[in-house]
Amino acid sequence: MAKNIWVFCEQRDGEIQNVALELLGVARELAEKTGEKVGAILLGHNIKGKAADLIAYGADEVHVVDDERLGMFVTEPYAQAVTQIAKEHTPSVILFGATSIGRDLAPRLSARLKTGLTADCTKLEMDEEGNLFMTRPAFGGNLFATIICPDHRPQMSTVRPGVMKKLDRDDFRKGEVVEENIAWDESKFSVTVLEEVAECQTCGQIENAKLLVSCGRGVKDVAPARELALKLGGSVASSRALVDAGVMDHGCQVGQTGKTVRPQAYLAFGISGAIQHLAGMEESEFIVAVNTDKNAPIFKVANLGIVADAAAVLKNLNKILQ
């Protein structure tokens, strides 16, 4: 019988991604409900050493595949590894981060394992029988749907980064590390990576920033916003309008098709507050909005809304904080 709550623990360049730790946190909560174990899948090259971190953040067992074929993310080798481990250990649930890796890999696996997959969840609950209730926004965040997968195992979902809470690190936690051997079918490896290029050094990891200075189409020059972010020890973020315009990097985009952020303060300059943008930031602790249009929807979620010219306010902020 299918048992245990598993997390696909995403790593990039050998660094465990925050979303993996967040998912271990929620997996722990779900597992308490049914008395099951939390399992982690860790794939990569020279990655074994990171298994202890996953235990410290809540995993009872870590299934590791340390192999040069898994150095950079490519769908097929990753899919083969997860499929073989999942078939052997039959977990009841597998959670993935709703990132450009998780949302590539998880649907491939759902078709291979012939089970359901719920996209981009923001809430997960479990009943005593081990049925997972997966809640997700759809239709640009106008609607929340709760989805179940009653007759198929594993129950799979991708979960939005920044929504679940990770546990405090506990280096005294005990867990088991299992090294898995994969029987590779290399005849299926038909995609080759010619190059991999890092982008977006300037915006930092916006999901981890305490404070964000976020710019929309109403900001003509983003340099003063970058200056302000630096002064306040935060990062810059952006609406999709400026990403589409090529002014800001996609890695800085907040919203439904960007990142979900929950900083202590979110300062929105010249952002109208489209529902797709709000979906990524409305959970922020404190929201300040500056916009020339007093009817802009962003004011409906702002704790402090100011009707004024964004450029002029940015200039004055930089002056005061000199």
Positions in 205-244 near ligand FAD (CB under 6 A):
216-218, 239-241
Site for another protein in 179-208 (CB under 8 A): 188, 190-200
Cα 64 from Cα 144, distance rounded (Å):
35
Regarding 245 and contact with another protein (CB under 8 A), the answer is: no
CB 39 within 8 A of CB 60: yes
Q: Which residue of the chain is nearest ligand FAD when measured via CB? A: 255
What is the smallest separation between the CB atom of 3 and another protein, expressed in angstroms?
Answer: 19
Regarding 117 and contact with ligand FAD (CB under 6 A), the answer is: yes
Question: Backbone dihedral region of 14: left (phi > 0), alpha (psi from -120 to 50 degrees) or beta?
Answer: left
Taking CB under 8 A as the criterion, the residue among 25, 39, 77, 137 binding another protein is 137
DSSP β-ladder status, 211-215 and 235-238 = parallel
Taking CB under 6 A as the criterion, the residue among 127, 170, 179, 293 binding ligand FAD is 293
Stretch that binds ligand FAD, among 19-27, 94-102, 124-132, 140-148 (CB under 6 A): 140-148
Q: Mention every residue, 6+ apart, whose C-beta is less than 8 A from residue 28.
A: 38, 58, 167
Which of another protein, ligand FAD, none does residue 241 bind to, with CB < 5 to 8 Å depending on kind? ligand FAD
Site for ligand FAD in 54-93 (CB under 6 A): none
Regarding 255 and contact with ligand FAD (CB under 6 A), the answer is: yes
Regarding 247 and contact with another protein (CB under 8 A), the answer is: no
Provide the 3-class DSSP secondary structure of residue 282: coil
Consecutive H or E run containing 32:
helix 18-34
Which of ligand FAD, another protein, none does residue 92 bind to, with CB < 5 to 8 Å depending on kind? none
Cα 60 from Cα 56, distance rounded (Å):
9
Cα 273 from Cα 276, distance rounded (Å):
8
* Alpha-carbon distance values, 90 to 80, 86, 122, 240, 272 (Å): 15, 5, 25, 40, 47
Stretch that binds another protein, among 32-40, 88-96, 165-173, 263-271 (CB under 8 A): 263-271
Scanning the structure block, which residue is given the tokens 């898994």? 70
What is the contact surface with ligand FAD in residues (CB under 6 A)? 116-119, 136, 138, 140, 143, 145, 147, 216-218, 239-241, 253-258, 270-272, 274, 276-277, 280, 290-293, 296, 309-311
